[in-house]
Structure 1
Amino acid sequence: MSLTKRLALLLALVCTPAAMAQTFTFTAIPDEDESQLRTRFEKVAEYLEQELGVKVKYVPVKSYSAAVTAFRNNQVQLAWFGGLSGVQARRLVPGSEAIAQGYEDQFFKSYFIAHASTEIVPGESFPNINGYTFTFGAKNSTSGRLMPQFFIERNLGKNTKDVFKRIGYSGDHSRTIAQVQAGVYQVGAVNYKVWETAVANGKVDLDKVAVIWQSPAYPDYQWTIRGDVNSAFGAEFAAKVESALIGMTDKDLLNSFPRESFVPADNRDYEPIEDVAKAIGLID
């Protein structure tokens, strides 16, 4: 082969869209222990890299708002958001789409938990939590703040600031469990999946803290992708990402979320979350 042909072949190889594209990056809301998240999502990165044929990197963030900001600024092209953070991100990045959700995310729940000293008896009816100290999770958490606040105000007929003696924001569901168990707060609201996993792993002392109420179902977590990924990574790239996520079958990887599987999602699925956020004043 002549030198000219060799150079032409080399240029063809290095100038393919995949070679020219940047690393495909993604993040996730920090809704529980950081080490657990890193273990989970670095395995997701390995899986996506194999399925998509491009380099994939997980970018951890310190807060829900940082996840939304990274998505808005194109520091990441894909994110594992909660219902509210996904709505916020898609409003900031026109053309972005919710593409997959956990099977369970179609009918997610919040648990209200209480320290044993409250002597609140669990039941189907909404508990009398007036006058206690209460902690939400992160301020932009769907299952740890948005929907619990909605259910409190709907059932008690007044603003949360008029219900509790003191209100806190733990930052994530694992810390909410720890704070209520330790008696730092008497009552709190958590993601039911994080609670059930913590109980299964022996990280909850059920003599000190218990579930006192579970909420009605609502849509929650989802994978959201930017609308401009096809121009950066090639035609139909977004569809390939969606197919890879829905096609995830590794039981260990799914259990780390924990989810039974991932199923298709779209922006319309989260209109109820947007409506509630508007109703209680978290978004305009």
Structure 2
Amino acid sequence: MTLSATRRLALKGALACAFASAFASSALAADAVLRVSAIPDEAPTELQRKFAPLGKYLEAQTGMKVVFTPVSDYAAVVESLATKKIDLAWLGGFTFVQAKIRTNGTAIPIVQRAEDAVFTSRFITADPTIKALADLKGKTFAFGAPSSTSGSLMPRFFLQQAGLNPEKDFKNVAFSGAHDATVAFVAAGKAEAGVLNASVWDKLVEQKKVDTDKVRVFATTPPYFDYNWTVRGDLDPALVKKLTDAFLKLDPANPEHKEILGLQRAAKFIPTKKENYEGIEKAAHSAGLLK
């Protein structure tokens, strides 16, 4: 066999190997799954509705199949992230702190909505005698979920700053489990007052799912950092970059992106970092929720 023929055979072999490798990589990408979940701060059907267009967008950006898995409570999201059952999670500020501790500091917050840098909670009531936080003494009160940043932790922190101890000063304290459920509690008279995050309150008002002639806001907390998208720490750095870039590229001028941002209640997404949630961690220690 001539040298030229040998080279041609070697080239054919190399091309065949390259083709096989490319085909295998393509098949692997097609089979790869990005597992996503979120804290259940709203009804499961609402969470699925909000995520559907975002999931399709992330599939296009990553080349992976995206599967959203709802969970029963906040702790389940933290545990699923720590045990590698999910790759990406929508967390509240306090849930991120819990995830950071549970994963020995490896969980990475990648982006947050611009609104999450100045997030607030709204205190609501249907009782005309309640006009300020001081009027809550002796009343029944509803928080959201115990691990909710905006439905429990930060409102509790600001109540304490105002000199109120919910367990001592309120007639009864209940946990509704979700922000929309808190509104339902107050509207139905199951609690004389309650607290939920400002974003869900605004959405319910816009969708006319709350009678504002009956249920009203009587106080708003100072701003704090809240929600973010967090990845597990051992996720492929190349994939983490793809996900981060995908969120940061969402542009309200693009009709498809506008729908996604609208469902996420976001003007845009911005980078975030662990240090943004140090204030929440301190508040959790102050409230006795972290040892």
CA contact (8 A) 2:129 2:135 kept: no
Local SS of the residue matching 1:37: helix
- Superimposed CA distance per residue, residues 247-272 of structure 1 (whole angstroms, 9 cap, x where no aligned partner): 12211111112111110100001110
CA distance in structure 2 between the partners assigned to 1:51 and 1:26 by the alignment: 15
TM-score normalized by the length of structure 1: 0.90
Q: Match for residue 206 of structure 1?
A: 212
Q: Which residue in the other structure is 2:272 paired with?
A: 265
1:6-155 → structure 2 map (5 Å cutoff): 8=17, 11-16=20-25, 19=28, 22-93=32-103, 94-116=105-127, 118-121=128-131, 126-155=133-162
Question: Which runs of no fewer than 5 residues in structure 1 stay unpaired?
Answer: none
Report what 1:225 is aligned to. Answer: 231
Corresponding residue for 1:248? 250
CA distance in 1 between partners of 2:33 and 2:86 (Å): 9
Corresponding residue number in structure 1 for 2:168: 162
Whichever residue aligns with residue 257 of structure 1, its letter is Q
**Cα distance in 1, alignment partners of residues 85 and 23 from structure 2:** 24
Once the two structures are TM-superposed, the CA of residue 147 in structure 1 deviates from its matched residue by 0.6
Question: What is the deviation of 1:128?
Answer: 2.0
**1:16 is matched by which residue type in structure 2?**
S
Query: Aligned match of 1:191 in 183, 194, 197?
Result: 197
Larger radius of gyration: 2
Shift of residue 18 of structure 1?
7.6
The one-character-per-residue Cα deviations of 1:127-159 (angstroms, maximum 9, x if unpaired) are 4210000010001000000011111112025x3
Gaps of 5+ in 2: 1-8, 252-256
C-alpha separation in 2, matches of 1:133 and 1:127: 13
**Contact 1:112–1:188, Cα closer than 8 Å, also in 2:** yes
Q: Provide the identity percentage.
A: 35
* 1:127 and 1:212 in contact (8 A); partners too: no
Q: Which moved more, 1:264-273 or 1:64-73?
A: 64-73
Number of residues paired by the alignment? 275
CA distance in 1, matches of 2:152, 2:73: 14
Q: What SS is found at the alignment partner of 2:267?
A: coil
Aligned pair in 2 of structure 1 residues 92, 22: CA closer, same or farther (>3 Å)?
A: farther
Query: In structure 1, the residue corresponding to 2:211 is in which secondary structure?
Result: coil
